[in-house]
């Protein structure tokens, strides 16, 4: 039995969440059971991923290739459990377990209805399963299918609120993501036409032999894949769907979207670029420079766009745009430190952004307020939530002892190695800007009382006239959430009158036990990655070495 499981671990890690997820709607009436099954699936996935990682790390020699259905490589679908795969698998499972824990007991209020909740969980587990699949699969078309499953699950998660705003965001996301899928499938089509293979290894060999004869076709394939996955993972100019989608989803969904889904597409892109096209071809077509450039632009522009956001979740969503830039930057450095740094940063950002979205969600659902200026003094009412938010913010900024610091350390080391000084400066500038958009939140949460917030609000209102008339376009509407803060101020004042009469901290308090546990788990991950990065960075380095020296 154990041997049976151990031999089939790569596929079991994928199908266990998928199939458990699919049967959930049947048990929709008994929500406790559904939640239990979700946590069970996550726990099984985590154990499986951990065990798989252990087996891969201790394994000597070649990768562990699993042939689905027993069909050998050019015909069958392969799953490759290499360092990169188990690294990302571990990230997915470690981060999604707390997110699943966080949803226990309070998702129903947010989504509404047992059936909707069960379907939310179905989508959640489908997403987790497909992300695991993306990490492991070694087949181009299989990647496409998994990407599609993930995309549809994401859209479903975004629209699970049921509000028209969410539906609109989900529709825009769906359209752009499908556009991206078409690009990806066309890119895969080109690769297939050129090489006749869908297996990554064989396609790669084919490309190596033939690319000089058909440089244009290869170039088209690369650009289709690059733009397709770039659109899905929201690299800067292609990010326009992200803020709406991630801010209008329920917070656990935002966490899993920002923390994991975006990362899955990046891992796919990484595999396409490094495994299929290979480092030589990347250099030949200057893909590495494009990645670095895109990353740098994203860091700066994303951070700058995050600054004026007053809606907390929107600010976090724009921050994701910026942080995606770091990972792209690392992908483009073509250096073992840079690549390992990017992978580590990916892991750390997955944990940090999930923690941020979850704690922000807890604050928002406890107070009913979405704007940063309205969250004044929340630190005293919800100390644990606000502490987690603060710790995660510091991690994102890159303070030592938190995981973001280690990621930035290796990214900077990589960019210094590659001989270019500009990326280094951009990385530092990015963390300073990150402090600029996260510190005000911390300040408001801990160091301001509601009365003062009102004053500040009023002052800002006097400075900025209402600019509602100028806004309109749905995709680019950056500040539409905060346009009407004038009316909001009045409302806040009313709220405060009520507050002063009732003792403070009456309703607003830390969320339930499962939620606290989830937040604490994520914070622990951030700290452990920051203080004892040894094994993780070693795995990331191994993965980077495998990617770079594959040829």
Partner 1 sequence: MRDFILKRIAAVILPFVCVYGFYVIFHGHISPGGSFAGGIIVGLSYIAFSTIYGIEKGRAKIPDKVLTWTESFGTLWYGLMGLVGIFKGVPFLANKLAGVDLGLPGALFSGGIIFYIGLGVGIRVASTMITIFFTLMEDQS
Partner 2 sequence: MKALLEKLIINYPYFFAVVLFAIGVLTVLTRSNLFKKLLGINIMGSAGFILFIASGNIRGGVEPILHTSDHEAVYVNPLPSALMLTGIVVSVSVTAFALSLIIRLYKEYGTTDAQRIARMRNEVKKIDSNDRR
Partner 3 sequence: MLYALLAILSGAAGGLIVFLTPKGSRRLRSIITLLFAASGAVFSWLTALSVFAGKSVRIGFEFGELAWSFDPDPLGAVFGLIASTLWLFATVYSFGYMAEKKRQRIYYAFFLISLSATVGVAFAGNLITLYLFYELLTLATYPLVIHERSPEAARAGTKYIMYNLSGAGAILIAIIITYRFAGNPDFIEGPVLAGVETPVMGWLLVMFIVGFGVKAAIMPLHRWLPSAMVAPTPVSALLHAVAVVYAGVFGVIRVVYSVFGHELAGQMSISPILPWVAAFSILAGVIVALRQDVLKRRLAYQTVSHLSYILLGAFTLEPWGLAGAMMQMITYPFMKMTLFFCAGIIAEQTGETRISRMKGVGRELPWTMAAFTAAALGMVGMLPMSTFWGKYYLMKGSVAGGMWPFAVVLAVSGLINAACFIPVAVEAFRGDKIQSCREKDTRTVWMFAPTALLVVIAVVTGLVPGIVWPGAEAVTDWFFR
Binding-site member from 25, 189, 440, 486 for partner 3 (CB under 8 A): 440
400 binds partner 3 (CB under 8 A): yes
Strand partners of residue 199: 139
**How many other C-beta atoms can be found within 10 angstroms of the C-beta atom of residue 186?**
15
Residue 239, both tokens: 């990010």
For residues 456-495, which are near partner 3 according to CB under 8 A?
A: 456, 459
424 binds partner 3 (CB under 8 A): yes
**Count of CA atoms in the C-beta half-sphere (13 A) of 462:** 5
513 binds partner 3 (CB under 8 A): no
Which lies closer to partner 2 via its Cβ, residue 94 or residue 231? 231
Binding-site member from 50, 51, 57, 66 for partner 1 (CB under 8 A): 66
28 binds partner 1 (CB under 8 A): yes
Q: Render 226-245 in DSSP notation, one character per residue.
A: HHHHHHHTT-GGG-TTHHHH
Partner that binds at residue 193, options partner 2, partner 3, partner 1, none, CB closer than 5 to 8 Å by kind? partner 2
Pairing label, strands 78-81, 64-67: antiparallel
**How many other C-beta atoms can be found within 10 angstroms of the C-beta atom of residue 505?**
11
**Separation of alpha carbons 306 and 434, rounded Å:** 9
2 binds partner 1 (CB under 8 A): no
440 binds partner 1 (CB under 8 A): no
In three-state secondary structure terms, 382 is coil
Binding-site member from 15, 532, 550, 551 for partner 3 (CB under 8 A): 532
Q: How far is CA 306 from CA 301, 318, 320, 482, 494, in A?
A: 8, 5, 9, 13, 29
**Separation of alpha carbons 319 and 304, rounded Å:** 9
Binding-site member from 11, 226, 321, 372 for partner 1 (CB under 8 A): 11
For residues 252-311, which are near partner 1 according to CB under 8 A?
A: none
Partner that binds at residue 476, options partner 1, partner 2, partner 3, none, CB closer than 5 to 8 Å by kind? none
6 binds partner 1 (CB under 8 A): no
Partner that binds at residue 15, options partner 2, partner 3, partner 1, none, CB closer than 5 to 8 Å by kind? partner 1
Of 389, 211, 430, 140, which is closest to residue 300 (Cα–Cα)? 430
Partner that binds at residue 22, options partner 1, partner 3, partner 2, none, CB closer than 5 to 8 Å by kind? partner 1
Binding-site member from 447, 476, 490, 504 for partner 3 (CB under 8 A): 447
Q: How far is CA 489 from CA 306, 456, 478, 508, in A?
A: 22, 10, 20, 20
19 binds partner 1 (CB under 8 A): yes
531 binds partner 3 (CB under 8 A): yes
Cα 164 from chain centroid?
24
75 binds partner 1 (CB under 8 A): no
Query: What is the greatest pairwise CA distance in the chain?
Result: 79
Quote the Cα angle for 286-291-293, to 5°: 95
**Separation of alpha carbons 359 and 365, rounded Å:** 10
Shortest spacing between CB 28 and partner 1, in angstroms: 7
429 binds partner 3 (CB under 8 A): yes
Of 45, 49, 24, 22, which is closest to residue 36 (Cα–Cα)? 24
Backbone torsion region of residue 137, taken as left when φ is above 0, otherwise alpha when ψ lies between -120 and 50, otherwise beta = beta
Cα 417 from chain centroid?
27
For 460, phi and psi rounded to 5 degrees?
Answer: -60, -35
22 binds partner 1 (CB under 8 A): yes
In three-state secondary structure terms, 62 is coil
Q: Do the beta carbons of residue 446 and residue 386 sit within 8 Å?
A: yes
Binding-site member from 435, 518, 521, 539 for partner 3 (CB under 8 A): 435
89 binds partner 1 (CB under 8 A): no
416 binds partner 3 (CB under 8 A): yes
Which lies closer to partner 1 via its Cβ, residue 64 or residue 102? 64
Q: Do the beta carbons of residue 261 and residue 154 sit within 8 Å?
A: yes
Shortest spacing between CB 190 and partner 2, in angstroms: 8
Of 24, 25, 146, 163, which is closest to residue 85 (Cα–Cα)? 146
Shortest spacing between CB 222 and partner 1, in angstroms: 32
Shortest spacing between CB 479 and partner 2, in angstroms: 11
Shortest spacing between CB 144 and partner 1, in angstroms: 17
Partner that binds at residue 4, options partner 2, partner 1, partner 3, none, CB closer than 5 to 8 Å by kind? partner 1
Shortest spacing between CB 131 and partner 1, in angstroms: 18
68 binds partner 1 (CB under 8 A): yes
Angle between helix axes 312-332 and 287-306 (nearest 10 degrees) is 160
Binding mask 360-399 for partner 3 (x = CB under 8 A): ----------------------------------x--x-x
Partner that binds at residue 484, options partner 3, partner 2, partner 1, none, CB closer than 5 to 8 Å by kind? partner 2
**Separation of alpha carbons 434 and 272, rounded Å:** 30
**Separation of alpha carbons 22 and 365, rounded Å:** 28
Please report, as ranges, the residues that interact with partner 1 according to CB under 8 A.
Answer: 4, 7-8, 11-12, 15, 18-19, 22-26, 28, 66-70
Please report, as ranges, the residues that interact with partner 3 according to CB under 8 A.
Answer: 394, 397, 399-401, 406, 408-409, 412-413, 416-417, 424, 428-429, 431-432, 435-436, 439-440, 443, 446-449, 452, 455-456, 459, 531-534, 537
């Amino acid at each position: 039995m154990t041997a049976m499981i151990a031999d089939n671990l790569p596929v079991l890690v994928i199908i266990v969440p998928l199939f458990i997820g699919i049967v959930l709607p049947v048990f929709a009436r008994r929500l406790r059971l559904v939640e239990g099954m979700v946590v069970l699936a996550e726990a099984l996935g985590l154990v499986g991923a951990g065990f798989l990682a252990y087996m891969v790390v201790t394994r000597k020699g070649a990768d562990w290739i699993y042939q689905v259905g027993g069909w050998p490589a050019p015909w069958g679908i392969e799953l490759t459990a290499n360092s990169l795969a188990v690294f990302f698998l571990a990230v997915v499972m470690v981060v999604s377990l707390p997110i699943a824990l966080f949803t226990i007991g309070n998702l129903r209020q947010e989504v509404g209805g047992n059936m909707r909740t069960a379907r939310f969980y179905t989508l959640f587990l489908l997403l987790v399963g497909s992300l695991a699949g993306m990490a492991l699969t070694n087949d181009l078309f299989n990647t496409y299918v998994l990407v599609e499953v993930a995309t549809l699950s994401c859209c479903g998660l975004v629209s699970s609120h049921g509000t028209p705003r969410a539906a609109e965001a989900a529709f825009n996301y769906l359209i752009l993501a499908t556009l991206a899928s078409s690009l990806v499938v066309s890119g895969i089509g080109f690769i297939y036409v050129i090489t006749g293979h869908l297996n990554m290894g064989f396609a790669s060999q084919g490309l190596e032999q033939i690319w000089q004869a058909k440089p244009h076709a290869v170039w088209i394939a690369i650009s289709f894949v690059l733009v397709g996955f770039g659109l899905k993972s929201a690299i800067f100019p292609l990010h326009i769907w992200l803020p709406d989608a991630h801010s209008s989803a329920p917070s656990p969904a935002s966490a899993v979207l920002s923390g994991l889904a975006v990362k899955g597409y990046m891992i796919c892109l990484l595999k396409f670029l490094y495994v299929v096209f290979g480092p030589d071809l990347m250099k030949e077509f200057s893909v590495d420079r494009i990645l670095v450039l895109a990353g740098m632009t994203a860091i700066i522009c994303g951070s700058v766009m995050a600054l004026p956001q007053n809606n907390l979740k929107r600010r976090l969503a724009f921050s994701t745009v910026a942080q995606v830039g770091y990972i792209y930057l690392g992908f483009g450095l073509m250096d073992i430190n840079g690549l390992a740094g990017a992978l580590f940063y990916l892991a750390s950002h997955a944990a940090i952004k999930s923690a941020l979205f979850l704690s922000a969600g807890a604050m928002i659902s406890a107070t009913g307020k979405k704007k940063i200026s309205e969250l004044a003094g929340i630190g005293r009412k919800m100390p644990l939530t606000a502490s987690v938010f603060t710790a995660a913010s510091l991690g994102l900024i890159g303070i030592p002892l938190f995981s973001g610091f280690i990621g930035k350390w290796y990214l900077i080391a990589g960019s210094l190695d590659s001989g270019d000084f500009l990326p280094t400066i951009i990385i530092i500038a990015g963390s300073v800007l990150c402090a600029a958009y996260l510190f005000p939140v911390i300040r408001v949460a801990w160091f301001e009382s509601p009365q003062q917030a009102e004053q500040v609000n009023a002052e800002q209102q006097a400075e900025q006239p209402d600019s509602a008339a100028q806004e309109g376009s749905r995709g680019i509407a950056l500040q539409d959430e905060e346009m009407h803060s004038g009316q909001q101020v009045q409302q806040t004042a009313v709220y405060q009158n009520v507050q002063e009469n009732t003792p403070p901290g009456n309703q607003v308090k830390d969320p339930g036990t499962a939620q606290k546990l989830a937040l604490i788990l994520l914070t622990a991950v951030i700290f452990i990655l920051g203080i004892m990065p040894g094994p993780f960075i070693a795995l990331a380095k191994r993965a980077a070495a495998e990617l770079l020296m594959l040829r």
